[in-house]
Structure 1
Amino acid sequence: MFQESSAAAPEITDLEPRHDESRRQFINHAGRGLLAVGVAGALPLAAAKAAAPDAALPPATGPLDIKLPPLEADTDPKGADPFNPDAPERRVGYALVGLGHLTLNEILPAFGQCKHAKAVALVSGDPEKMRKVAQQYGIKPSSCYSYQTYDQLKDNPEVEVIYIVLPNSMHHEFTLRGAKAGKHILCEKPMANTAKECEEMIAACKKAGKKLMIAYRIQYEPLNRAAMKLVRDKTYGATKLLQMVNCQNQAHDQQWRHKKALAGGGALPDIGLYCLNTTRFLLGEEPTEVSAQIYSTPSDARFKEVEENVTFTLRFPSGVISQCTTGYGTFNSKAYTVHAETGSIKMDPAFPYHGLRQERVHAPNGKQLKETPNDPMKNQFALEMDHMAECVRQNKTPYTPGEEGLQDQRIMEAIYQSARENKPVKLPAVAKLDAFRGEAPTDEEA
């Protein structure tokens, strides 16, 4: 039991900061008085008084950004700045459509690292699972919808963006319905199963006056963006060759990715798309020719409808050649290397959700140097959702709009054609750099 000391404690008159006094000044000032108190129990009392909220504290005005002085010396790596999210009422509300692995394991948790976005509604075909998820994330029962009642999102003013996380074949339908409901659309990749479906999705959103963004998270991730800037700035001279690999071993569970009607294809649109899109992102150019080969193990039940392995080569106007390999039946490998005149940039791993690593090798003054920059460890889903939210608030075109997804779909169709015909396929020339991209994410977002 706590007992008061019989010794008289010195009087402390400055236990709360004055309005014109910073926290650091207050701590320094109060600390001198606390040192004189000793161990008579005044420290817990002082801490409690200092932590007590001021009932008369007026709401903050203007931006909520908070700045703190650095804790590190100039010679040490700098810590992160304060998180500084928007107030909840200012964040853009998202409806999540589909409650599979990606939504539950990555997207919903990522809202905890969002500054401008929040989850406010769910859409699922499994009401019991949706009920549990809604309770976990504090989403109102009235903001939970089935695929049949999806169109009622139009009556929910909290929802500004619909994030479609469904099998590929369903992206088209739910984008069209979402645009008709008057909501902006963030759609997972691949955008759709055919170029025609992509064109219709773009047209529907334009007709509704709503934004359409494709979730190419790699284009928002800091290490990949740093690689892109090194390539574009020709830091190691002109890029000559790229090697891209994205392979994994799929479970033998007859998942929807093994059904052509749902997936549109196999390894190519699911994971090979990262090789294609990242090549285009790094260079800013569009390929003028593709050549490809496809092979599936005949005895493997997973690949009765969709392809197992695809290798394809992209040729670009600048002369760059990108060799890409993707597969559904091999040990996990997700990496790429940029080979330039005086150096190389390697990302290994390059495409997972977490744990990315970059290595740069070059030889200034004839001495080879190897650099491994720190991974900022930004959540890729939070970055892309915050970018979409900023585009909604500031009326900007997303960096990866529907046109970006359409271009990938057209190139993938040419890759399939090349493999069928066993010969290269020419593509329309595109002179402009970043021809299908919108406004780049801000430094804060990246």
Structure 2
Amino acid sequence: MTFDETRRWTRRRLLETTGGLLGASLWLPETALAAAGEVKLPPMKASTEVESPLPQPQEPDKRVGFAIVGLGRLSLEELLPAFGECKKAKLVALVSGDKDKARTVASQYGVSEKNLYDYKNYDSLKDNPEVQAVYIVLPNNMHAEYTVRAAKAGKHVLCEKPMANSVAECQQMIDACRAAKKQLMVAYRLQYEPHHRAAIQLARSKKLGALKLFSADNGQNQAPDAQWRHKKALAGGGALPDVGIYCLNAARYLSGEEPVEVWGSMYSTPGDARFKEVEENFLFTLRFPSGLIAQCTTGYGHHDSRRMRLMGSEAWVDMDPAFAYSGLRMRISRKSPDDPKASDTVERSLPQPSQFAREMDHFAECVQNNRQPHTPGEEGLQDMRIIEALYRAAREGKSQKLEAVAKQDAFRGPAPSAEG
């Protein structure tokens, strides 16, 4: 048999030769075995190799139906494509002020035209049983209003971060969802991402030793065109609440602690039209009860930089990039167990599924099981308390003391499952 003839020995021919389905079950080593609603395959690789688990999506009619509220860049570039990876969430509706754009996007993703809404008829979502949850992807100043309206319409709410522009608005959102008996989650995608979950485990298991220092930088160079992020009334602030919140939130979830004292300083380049209303750069320090110190920077006027490092008495873990949507890289350094005169720095590679699919699936699972999300409204509220304190510190030129919180993970719900 020639090489070309061998190539033509296809699966179809094998099935025909061995008698259809019965032959397939006898001859194909990759035959699927269905058990308890899951599809299983025999291992393809040796036990020395990493083998990815098979996706196990729920049947479509069992998944939680989402309405995406706002069709800006994040929705179009990340959220809508992420539904293709979701196992427990599905896209069923769109909310946009631009009817033509909504119709175009609906046709691209198979959303029925009857499930297209604008901001005026948003409240009529209450009459649509296909929509169980909304994902709010609007300018920050609109988060509170559209969360409250969704809760009154009987819908669960997943809201982008920052949760709102003030502590008062965050509390209003929490109260509305609690009164409606609906779940509220803030979209802290990295708390569901495999590398960050691994870093949390390293920190909490004491494999780094006592936590001493945390450093993080997250910034980007904003386009000069007018955009809502440059308007204080819409954004609430500049780099700090938009991209600096990643550094702040990471310091909190890696350690499980809450800061007891904060310092802050901000600066904007004179004459730069982008920063007439909001700050360009913000530097801040957080002091935690254990003695851990976090030093963070964030900016709107420099080349992309998204890195972090957590330093312990025995080892450190870092990521660069740490806060990007994909391509995360993790390194761990400690004294070598083989050579007492050497240090080992290793790179740990983990799966990189869609961060947005993971967070949406987690929220869908919480809706299905009536369980508090890992990042509920209280988590977003705590970040806003700290952000307000940091702005006070910057304005007054002195540190701000915060109320001590003894409990670990005081504002978080149960940890997400491995798949969610």
TM-score normalised over the length of structure 2: 0.93
- Pair 1:124 & 2:96 matched: yes
Rounded Cα–Cα distance in structure 2 between residues aligned with 1:384 and 1:322: 26
Which residue is 2:20 aligned to?
A: 16
Equivalent of 1:403 in 370, 378, 384 = 378
The amino acid that maps onto 1:118 is K
Rounded Cα–Cα distance in structure 1 between residues aligned with 2:127 and 2:141: 26
* 3-state SS of 2:27 partner: helix
Rounded Cα–Cα distance in structure 2 between residues aligned with 1:260 and 1:371: 43
Larger Rg: 1
Equivalent of 1:281 in 253, 271, 283 = 253
Q: Deviations over 1:112-133 (max 9, x none)?
A: 0000000000000000000000
Q: Deviations over 1:410-440 (max 9, x none)?
A: 0000000000000000000000000000111
* 3-state SS of 1:391 partner: helix
Q: How does 1:26-425 map to 2 (within 5 A)?
A: 26-27=27-28, 63-75=36-48, 77-365=49-337, 366=340, 367-425=342-400
Rounded Cα–Cα distance in structure 2 between residues aligned with 1:81 and 1:25: 23
Displacement of 1:204 in angstroms is 0.2
Displacement of 1:298 in angstroms is 1.4
Over 3 Å counting, the alpha-carbon distance change for 1:25 and 1:14 in structure 2 is: closer
**Conserved in 2, the CA contact under 8 Å of 1:117 and 1:389?**
yes
* 3-state SS of 1:112 partner: coil
Displacement of 1:26 in angstroms is 3.4
Rounded Cα–Cα distance in structure 2 between residues aligned with 1:442 and 1:243: 28
List alignment gaps of at least 5 residues for structure 1: 1-11, 29-49, 51-59
Over 3 Å counting, the alpha-carbon distance change for 1:313 and 1:26 in structure 2 is: same
**Conserved in 1, the CA contact under 8 Å of 2:92 and 2:131?**
yes
**Conserved in 1, the CA contact under 8 Å of 2:358 and 2:419?**
no
**Conserved in 1, the CA contact under 8 Å of 2:336 and 2:343?**
yes
Is 240-249 or 78-87 further displaced after alignment? 78-87
**Conserved in 1, the CA contact under 8 Å of 2:331 and 2:347?**
yes
Rounded Cα–Cα distance in structure 2 between residues aligned with 1:321 and 1:124: 43
Over 3 Å counting, the alpha-carbon distance change for 1:13 and 1:214 in structure 2 is: closer
Q: Deviations over 1:327-359 (max 9, x none)?
A: 000111000011111211011000010110001
Rounded Cα–Cα distance in structure 2 between residues aligned with 1:62 and 1:159: 31
**Conserved in 2, the CA contact under 8 Å of 1:356 and 1:375?**
no
Is 270-279 or 367-376 further displaced after alignment? 367-376
**Conserved in 2, the CA contact under 8 Å of 1:17 and 1:26?**
no
TM-score normalised over the length of structure 1: 0.88
Using the aligned pairs only, state the percent identity. 57
Question: What is the total number of aligned residue pairs between the two structures?
Answer: 400
The amino acid that maps onto 2:246 is Y
Over 3 Å counting, the alpha-carbon distance change for 1:251 and 1:78 in structure 2 is: same
* 3-state SS of 2:82 partner: helix
**Conserved in 2, the CA contact under 8 Å of 1:289 and 1:427?**
yes
Displacement of 1:14 in angstroms is 4.3
Which residue is 1:40 aligned to?
A: none
List alignment gaps of at least 5 residues for structure 2: 1-15
* 3-state SS of 2:348 partner: coil
The amino acid that maps onto 2:41 is L
**Conserved in 2, the CA contact under 8 Å of 1:242 and 1:323?**
yes
What RMSD over aligned residues (CA atoms) do the two structures have, in Å?
1.6
**Conserved in 2, the CA contact under 8 Å of 1:188 and 1:215?**
yes
Which residue is 2:13 aligned to?
A: none
Rounded Cα–Cα distance in structure 1 between residues aligned with 2:178 and 2:344: 49
Which residue is 1:25 aligned to?
A: 26
Rounded Cα–Cα distance in structure 1 between residues aligned with 2:284 and 2:208: 26
The amino acid that maps onto 1:264 is G
* 3-state SS of 1:66 partner: strand
